[in-house]
């Protein structure tokens, strides 16, 4: 073991990634602990994928320090990759081979013996509920099934850390929940999960700890709960106006809520008691076309930190 | 490096296993058809009216040319679309690079697979040629590795190009304007001495001419040792320089 207890599994300090003129990752620091589920949350172009690819030792670090299992990706890429499980953003499955062959061949890249791989492939297909499709070609599988196969394939070497780059992007809600359920079980079994996402609910479901990334920098770090407490209020009131909102909006909400966020299609009021605020607003005579009181989410955190929505 | 480079090989083999029947039939039928049409059919006319250097039959002349020329075509195909696809469409290279494999392993593994395919095809080809009576010396067996080397002399630089290019349009141009003219004018079907002087000089530069000449020396059993080494050296340098270029373009494309 190269990573001792207490030593971070992944350590990044002042990590920078540049592509020519473009700075994709602009000096980030983070430490990942064994067994946790860690998320990079941010919009497209925030630098999440570039960070993941550096951790995965497929993209060289431009500047700064990166250690994975205490090893240096520039020198020990082969050993590090041997202990990682990677679920890339775009599937890299072979469409012509069968579901099972995809796992076996991938296992061979790690130098695992062919005989052991047969058993391993069957276990993994069982785990991702694809046993019935074992001998089918990959091509006709649904998006959710392909994703599950990619996850199964990434587990073939019994990785200590799984890198999941937008694991459920493009999946329908049901397929997403199946993937989340499998990832949750992996986490329970002690696998360290590192994932990127631009879905709030995904981050809230899966991550013990996350960083919010924006324009290559880390805007905030903490558990989903902590971030909401720090950067948002307990509740949010969403107001919609069909015929344009009143000009002197500040007058109506004066002293009522801790913060107002005005978006093109709606107005958000941040307060610890949404019902009371909505009621008071009504008392003051402001009648929007719709009023929704909800709990604060990471979306609100992101909005507060960057002034922008996560998904345009 | 060596053992790691064998691992991608297994992938290409698994992929090939799905299509091996069709591919095997093609590998046998193609030389049979070519030899029937050119060696036997056209050969009757040629042998009646002309004398080839050394007094050999046209079939004996054309068979090693077809062998080397076919290797060039297959190698070029195998290192164009499949390489771009593994980078861009099916992205198998990216799957490999997420594992302990390195860029050099991926390149060597793929080229080793191309060489293995070429060995299978060259062997079948030579057996068919022999069955038609086109091999007059036991040295002809050595035409198999030489033909494979001809293939690699093309597949390595073509792989370098395929890893560099963004789209497949150039592949068709390569076939039409480089591979086809070489196939026709590199001493495959007639001695290059029949070409105008300028074109003859050009033919000397093509790796295919060196491959055809060496294969022909071997199947005829008429080996001029120093010339043979010259041909070998030329082909080996093409393969080596091609591999070095490919390593560069692979790295540039895959390591970002």
CA B80 to chain A, closest CA, distance in angstroms equals 18
Considering only CB atoms, A81 lies closest to which of B10, B14, B99, namely: B99
Dihedral sign of CA atoms B24, B26, B27, B32 in order:
positive
Q: Do A79 and B95 touch (CB under 8 A)?
A: no
- Residue B153 reports pLDDT greater than 90: yes
In this model, does residue A228 exceed pLDDT 60?
yes
Lowest model confidence (mean pLDDT) among A91-105, A220-234, B56-70: A220-234
What pLDDT, on a 0 to 100 scale, did the predictor assign at position A310?
A: 56
Inter-axis angle of helices B103-131 and B143-164, nearest 10: 140
Given pLDDT bands bounded at 50, 70 and 90, which one contains residue B48?
confident
**What is the percent of chain A where pLDDT is above 90?**
59
Query: Residue B16: which of B74, B68, B70, B100 has the closest Cα?
Result: B74
Is the pLDDT reported for residue A1 higher than 80? no
- Cα separations in angstroms, B192 against B45, B59, B73, B139: 19, 17, 20, 24
Neighbours of A233 (CB within 10 A): 22
pLDDT at B126 over 60: yes
Kindly determine whether residue B255 and residue A60, on different chains, have CB atoms separated by under 8 Å: yes
Overall average pLDDT of the A193-214 stretch? 90
pLDDT tens per residue, range A56-67: 999 999 999 999
Q: Residue A30 pLDDT > 80, yes or no?
A: yes
Q: What rounded mean pLDDT belongs to chain B?
A: 92
pLDDT tens per residue across span B13-27: 998 988 888 888 888
Residue B114, pLDDT above cutoff 80: yes
- Domain ranges in chain B? 2-254
Per-residue pLDDT tens digits for B191-226: 998 899 999 999 999 999 999 999 999 999 999 999
Res A6: pLDDT: 67
For A43-47, A158-162, B58-62, B108-112, which range has the lowest pLDDT when averaged over its residues? A43-47
CA distance B24 to A20: 47
Closest by Cβ to B91, choosing from A77, A86, A92: A92
pLDDT of residue A102: 96
pLDDT, average across residues B240-254: 97
Q: What is the pLDDT of residue A74?
A: 94
> What whole-number distance in Å separates Cα of residue A55 and Cα of residue B169?
35
Size of interface A-B (CB pairs under 8 A): 69
Q: What pLDDT score was predicted for residue A64?
A: 96
Q: How far is A95 from chain B (nearest CA, A)?
A: 8
Q: How far is CA B111 from the centre of its chain?
A: 12
Residue A42 has a pLDDT of: 86
Task: Give start-end residues of each CATH 3.30.70.260 domain in chain A.
Answer: 233-295
CA B91, B94, B99, B103 dihedral sign is positive
What are the E-state strand segments in chain A? 10-19, 22-32, 37-41, 63-68, 84-87, 161-165, 192-197, 209-214, 217-222, 235-240, 259-262, 267-271, 290-295
User: Which segments of chain A belong to CATH 3.40.50.300?
Assistant: 10-223
> What share of chain B has pLDDT > 70, as a percent?
99
Residue A134 pLDDT: 95
Which is higher by pLDDT, A308 or A206? Answer: A206
Q: Report the alpha-carbon distance of residue A189 to residue A184 in Å, rounded.
A: 9
Neighbours of B255 (CB within 10 A): 12
Q: How many CB atoms lie within 10 A of CB A30?
A: 20
Query: What's the rounded mean pLDDT across residues A94-114?
Result: 94
Query: Do B104 and B246 form a contact (C-beta atoms < 8 A)?
Result: no
Strand, coil or helix: A261: strand
With a pLDDT cut of 90, the percent of chain B lying above it is 77
pLDDT at A4 over 70: no
Let me know: does A267 contact A238? Beta carbons within 8 Å. yes
Query: First vs last Cα of chain A: how many Å apart?
Result: 44
Mean pLDDT, range B98-106, rounded to an integer: 96
- What's the confidence (pLDDT) of residue B24? 84
**3-class secondary structure, B231:** helix
> Which fold, A233-295?
Alpha-Beta Plaits (3.30.70)
This complex has an ipTM of 0.88
Say if CB A274 and CB A281 are below 8 A apart: no
Supply the mean pLDDT for chain A: 89
Q: Is the pTM of this model over 0.80?
A: yes
pLDDT band at B2 (very low <50, low <70, confident <90, very high): low
Residue in B10, B18, B97 nearest the CB of A108: B10
Q: Which of A44-48, B39-43, B51-55 shows the lowest per-residue confidence on average (mean pLDDT)?
A: B51-55
CB-nearest partner of A59 from B15, B96, B256 = B256
The answer to whether the beta carbons of residues B160 and B123 sit under 8 Å apart is no
**pLDDT range class, residue A231, cuts 50, 70, 90:** confident
Q: Which residues of B touch A82 (CB under 8 A)?
A: 99-100
Mean pLDDT of B97-118: 96
Minimal CA separation from A206 to chain B, in Å: 23
Tell me what pLDDT residue B166 has.
Answer: 93
Q: Among A50-54, A179-183, A250-254, which is the least confidently predicted range?
A: A250-254
- Residue A2, pLDDT score: 45
Architecture per CATH, A10-223: 3-Layer(aba) Sandwich (3.40)
pLDDT of residue A3: 44
Interface test with A, best of B95, B101, B110 (most A CBs within 10 A): B95
Q: Do B255 and A78 touch (CB under 8 A)?
A: no
Can you give the pLDDT at residue B1?
Answer: 46
């Amino acid at each position: 073991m190269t990573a001792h207890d207490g030593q971070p599994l992944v350590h990044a300090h002042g990590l920078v990634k540049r592509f020519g003129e473009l700075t994709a990752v602009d000096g980030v620091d983070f430490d990942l602990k064994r067994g946790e589920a860690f998320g990079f949350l941010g919009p497209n172009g925030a630098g999440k994928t570039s960070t993941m690819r550096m951790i995965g030792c497929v993209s060289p670090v431009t500047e700064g320090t990166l250690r994975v299992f205490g090893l240096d990706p520039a020198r020990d890429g082969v050993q590090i990759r041997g202990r990682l499980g990677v679920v890339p953003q775009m599937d890299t499955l072979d469409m012509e081979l069968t579901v099972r062959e995809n796992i076996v061949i991938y296992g061979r890249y790690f130098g695992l013996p062919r005989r052991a791989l047969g058993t391993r492939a069957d276990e993994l297909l069982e785990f991702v509920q694809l046993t019935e499709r074992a001998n089918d070609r990959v091509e006709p599988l649904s998006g959710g099934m392909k994703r599950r196969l990619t996850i199964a394939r990434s587990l073939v070497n019994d990785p200590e850390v799984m890198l999941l780059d937008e694991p459920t992007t493009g999946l329908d809600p049901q397929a997403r929940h199946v993937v989340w359920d499998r990832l949750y079980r992996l986490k329970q079994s002690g696998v360290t999960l590192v994932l990127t996402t631009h879905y709030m609910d995904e981050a809230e479901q899966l991550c013990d700890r996350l960083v919010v990334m924006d324009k290559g920098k880390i805007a905030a770090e903490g558990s989903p709960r902590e971030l909401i407490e720090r950067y948002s209020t307990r509740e949010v009131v969403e107001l919609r106006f069909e015929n344009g909102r009143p000009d002197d909006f500040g007058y109506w909400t004066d002293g009522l809520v801790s913060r107002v966020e005005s978006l093109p299609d709606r107005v958000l009021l941040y307060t610890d008691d949404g019902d009371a605020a909505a009621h008071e607003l009504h008392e003051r005579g402001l009648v929007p076309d719709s009023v929704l009181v909800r709990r604060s989410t990471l979306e609100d955190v992101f909005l507060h930190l960057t002034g922008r929505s996560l998904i345009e | 490096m060596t053992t790691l480079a064998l691992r991608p090989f297994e992938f290409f083999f698994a992929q090939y296993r799905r299509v091996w029947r069709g591919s095997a039939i093609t590998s046998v039928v193609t030389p049979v058809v070519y030899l029937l049409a050119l060696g036997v059919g056209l050969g009757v006319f040629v042998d009646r009216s002309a004398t080839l250097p050394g007094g050999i039959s046209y079939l004996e002349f054309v068979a090693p040319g077809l062998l080397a020329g076919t290797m060039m075509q297959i190698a070029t195909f195998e290192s164009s679309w499949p390489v771009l696809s593994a980078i861009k469409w099916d992205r198998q290279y990216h799957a490999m690079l997420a594992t302990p494999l390195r860029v050099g392993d991926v390149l060597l593994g793929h080229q080793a697979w191309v060489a293995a395919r070429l060995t299978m095809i060259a062997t079948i080809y030579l057996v068919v040629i022999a069955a038609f009576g086109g091999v007059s010396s036991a040295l002809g067996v050595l035409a198999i590795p030489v033909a494979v080397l001809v293939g690699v002399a093309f597949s390595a630089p073509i792989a370098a190009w395929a890893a560099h290019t963004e789209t497949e349009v150039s592949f068709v141009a390569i076939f039409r304007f480089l591979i086809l003219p070489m196939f026709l004018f590199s001493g495959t079907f007639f001695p290059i001495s029949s070409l105008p002087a300028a074109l003859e000089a050009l033919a000397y530069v093509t790796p295919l001419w060196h491959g055809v000449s060496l294969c022909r020396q071997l199947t005829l059993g008429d080996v001029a040792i120093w010339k043979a080494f010259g041909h070998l050296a030329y082909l080996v340098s093409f393969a080596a320089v091609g591999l070095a270029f490919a390593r560069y373009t692979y790295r540039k494309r895959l390591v970002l």
